[in-house]
Amino acid sequence: MPRWLGMALHIVAFPAALVITPWALSLLGDRHGWVLGRPGNWNLTGLFLVAAGFYIFFLCMREHFIAAPDGWKLERTRHYPTPAYLLSGGPYRYSCNPMYLGDLLIWLGWIAFYGSVVLGSIFAMAALFLGPVIVPREERGLEARFGDAYRDFRRTTPHWLGKPRR
């Protein structure tokens, strides 16, 4: 896939999924903290988390864009489709999974902003699937494709967040 098309799809699909979906789901229940159809001051603090999550996402996309000058090529492994490159710079210096951390911040921000129990419940169910199922499959695919280089990356980089281990 040409890298401009991959970037365009992510720039359109990611915000659509992480802006429109939470808004629509928040309509299914009460919006705690809202008064006269407007968010309260406490709810507005959730927007800081949303902004931080999108910032992390765009930093990650920048790393992908730089690493794939000829376009994004995915190789299907037994476990998971993996890119033709292993990222270890930018946000990937601090986390093996910075895009998932960005997602986490965005969802927690929307939960706070909308004050929605429905969003919180759906987020909890998704987290129970993502952490134990999707992330390990992705990691097995990266290890199958990159071998020792990926194992070294995992050994020197925190799984979720923290200071790089050296």
pLDDT tops 80 at residue 81: no
Express as a percent the part of the chain with pLDDT over 70. Answer: 90
Q: Which pLDDT score is estimated for 1?
A: 64
pLDDT tens for each residue of 103-131 = 999 999 999 999 999 999 999 999 898 88
**CA of 132: how far to CAs of 15, 90, 129, 136, 137, in Å?**
25, 25, 6, 6, 9
- Banded pLDDT at 65 (limits 50, 70, 90): confident
Region 56-66: mean pLDDT is 89
DSSP annotation of 30 reads -
Q: Which pLDDT score is estimated for 164?
A: 66
Region 89-96: mean pLDDT is 92
Region 15-23: mean pLDDT is 87
pLDDT tops 80 at residue 2: no
pLDDT tens for each residue of 39-56 = 999 999 999 999 999 999
Domains of the chain (ranges; CATH) run 3-156 (1.20.120)
Select the more confidently predicted residue: 110 or 5: 110
DSSP annotation of 109 reads H
pLDDT tops 90 at residue 14: no
Reduced to 3 states, what is the DSSP secondary structure of residue 35? strand
Contacts of 65 (CB under 8 A, 6+ apart): 3, 7
Region 20-33: mean pLDDT is 90
pLDDT tops 70 at residue 26: yes
HEC secondary structure over 43-98: HHCHHHHHHHHHHHHHHHHHHHHHHCCCCCCEEECCCCEEECCCCCCHHHHCCCCH
